Structure 1
Amino acid sequence: MEIYLVRHTETVCEKGICYGQADVEIQDDYLLLFESIKTEIPSDAIVYSSPLKRCTVLANHISKGNYKTDSRLMEMNFGDWELKKWNDIPLEMLNPWMKDFVNVSVPNGESFVQLYERVNAFFDEIKKAKHSKPIVIITHAGVIRSVLCKNSNLSLKDAFQNKVDFGEVKKINF
């Protein structure tokens, strides 16, 4: 099954802000990039999207409104850290997570393994559906990294070896 993983375009958040499931806007200059993304994906694809607007704006554009959202495609839940500056998060809270982001949950949020499990549940359903068309998934860097770990048998602790730029398209066979 051909799957195209597409990361949303750049957000309005300034560098150094922690955001995951916060529903932030994308930068205004996205149309040219959206058109470029369209050239990298099949026009007859089935489109799924994270329900966060930084993804649905792109999903709507490339599919002309014909897409489905699924909350399992949302970025990692950063709980109490959402929309805070990384530098303002107390080190006694940040350091344990930085040492083991795979297993340690953010306060009132989730760990990377929890994100990985919900994303895998989504992909298990996709596999069972046996779609005859390619699939495009508009989502976030954390979700894409978890899928790439699964697809390549890469350890979750090494997920950041998978670089995923804003607006990047990654094609995989699942």
Structure 2
Amino acid sequence: MIYLIRHTTPLIAKGICYGQLNIDVTDSFEAEAIEIRKVLPAGIEHVYSSPLIRCHKLAGFLFPGQSIQREPALMELACGEWEGVHWDAIPPEVIEPWMKDFVNVAIPGGESYIQMHSRVTQCFTRIAEGPHPVAIVTHGGVIRSILSHITNTPLVDSFGAFKISYGCVMQLQVTPAGLVHETLHHVTTEKEQHKPSNFKKQ
């Protein structure tokens, strides 16, 4: 089994583009982490985490005393010049090319979704071929990228296809037909904002 675990609620105002900013988590961290721990089986000895604090802090809480392998390839999308900026404050002429084709167009000073997907899937394949059970503590974009990879879902459709809340836990099981995913833990929370509020899908 492979367990994909998203970090808990980050300590940042809604609407701020935070990508790879190394931000902490809110005061609800422990309560959220306890709920995550309830759905995880005992005996997970192999743990990988994004090196950003919101992920490796959760990994340390869930798997105390264990060696946690920090993998830079498991970090969220690099948002370059937009890190720490409110989505609505990015000038339309700057953001529109990316919004029209975020899969292939890189954020200024950052990366495109396909670039992130490449590094994530290479890392995931290596982890998946190793010993199981294994846990991967990471980010929403990374989990969507992995799920797109194992289900052959186009990246452009991944946000609509996969609902990944803060603290979400996805279980991946190896079958003769490939990896099958199941949601073990999902929290219905206030909708996140990862694009301009006035954006309308073309």
Identity %: 42
How many residues end up aligned between the 2 structures? Answer: 171
Q: Distance in 1 between matches of 2:16 and 2:42?
A: 35
Cα pair 2:20 2:52 within 8 Å, conserved = yes
CA distance in 2, matches of 1:126, 1:27: 29
Which structure has the highest helix share of the two? 1
Report the AA paired with residue 68 of structure 1: Q
**CA distance in 1: counterparts of 2:140 and 2:169, whole angstroms:** 11
- 2:105 equivalent in structure 1: 104
Kept in 2, the 8 Å contact 1:59–1:65? The answer is no
- Name the structure 1 match of 2:189: none
Relative to the length of structure 2, the TM-score reads 0.82
Q: Is contact 2:2-2:128 (8 Å) kept? A: no
Matches of 2:129 and 2:144, distance apart in 1? 22
Decide whether the 8 Å contact of 1:3 with 1:135 is kept in 2: yes
Alignment of 1:74 with 2:75, yes or no, is: yes
Structure 2 distance, partners of 1:105, 1:88, is 18
Which amino acid counterpart does residue 109 of structure 1 have in structure 2?
G
Residues in 2 aligned to 1:42 and 1:134: alpha-carbon distance in whole angstroms: 9
Question: With CA pairs under 8 Å and 6+ residues apart, which has the higher RCO, 1 or 2?
Answer: 1
C-alpha RMSD of matched pairs (Å) = 1.0
Distance 1:56 1:23 in 2: 11
Runs (5+) with no aligned partner, structure 2 = 174-178, 180-202
Q: Which runs of 5+ in 1 are unaligned?
A: none
Alpha-carbon distance in structure 2 between the residues aligned to 1:68 and 1:42:
19
Distance 1:22 1:142 in 2: 14
Three-state SS of the structure 2 residue aligned to 1:136 is strand
User: Is the CA contact (8 Å cut-off) linking 1:50 and 1:138 kept in structure 2?
Assistant: yes
Q: Give me the whole-angstrom Cα distance separating, in 1, the residues matched to 2:16 and 2:37.
A: 29
